[in-house]
Structure 1
Amino acid sequence: MLLCAVLGKLTVRSWVSLPLLFLGSATGVAALIDLVLLRDPTLQSELSLSAPLLFGFAAGLALFSAGHVRWSFRWQRLSLRVAYPLTMIVCAMALDAFTLPMGAALIIGPIAAALLAAMLVRTHHTRDEADCLT
């Protein structure tokens, strides 16, 4: 029986975009939930999102997926691996909430979700057998 990692090796570009696509996808889901739960839903309303929650999860995603990155240069592995999640943690602590127009969130969300799904499927299919344990 083979136990394979869900992710294959990520490029630096896909690793950087992974938390950002998560943020966009979560924004779209929050917008859909907000539209369903509101009494009078309109596309002109504002969507208020919890910055600590979203950026905290994005920072965790960046930290835990950093081991799956095919680093091109040594400086990337040493500095970017720490600085990028740390930047998101700083954003999580500095911002309380942020608002977006509902229409923008409904446009960004499905596009980000589709790109995230395509990237995850691609990395899953291109993983090496070396990523699998017997």
Structure 2
Amino acid sequence: MRYFRESLQNTMGLCQYNVQPFTDPEVDAIEEYDDQVPVPAYFELETLLADTDDTAGAFRKRAEDLTRWHDALTRLLTDPRLKNTGNGQETETYSPAVRRFLKGAAGDYHRHRHGYEYAVTVWALGLQAPTSYPPETRHLHLATRELRLWD
């Protein structure tokens, strides 16, 4: 049982008024995606390196996992079962429930990838302090002229 199926069991956590729920084809497509995602937990350098003597091999394995995750997410984005058919005619937009799920799934993928890239950079440069290079930034806010961690 993967994350999506477990979250469906907690229906109160998925409740939102005036939004149509996932359709059966949408649930099928998302469950297939859920089965293909090889990275079940957030990336942490210490966890990855704790049980291995082959650091470069562990990084390569994680890169392969992230590639499979990217491919699964790309397939999900183009899955015809996710097309919104609210008025009986297929459109190019997603339902609100699917849009919300896709944004969350893409956000999870990008956080994992960013964490992986950060860890590889720190490891490759041989840095000891986790607050050294590269500093964590994800967004440029031009009005206040600052780099921010979150939007």
Shared fold (TM-score, shorter chain, > 0.5): no
Higher relative contact order (CA 8 A, sep 6+): 1
Larger Rg: 1 or 2?
2
**Structure 1 or 2: more strand by fraction:** 1
Write 1 or 2 for the structure with the bigger share of helix: 1
TM-score by length of 1: 0.31
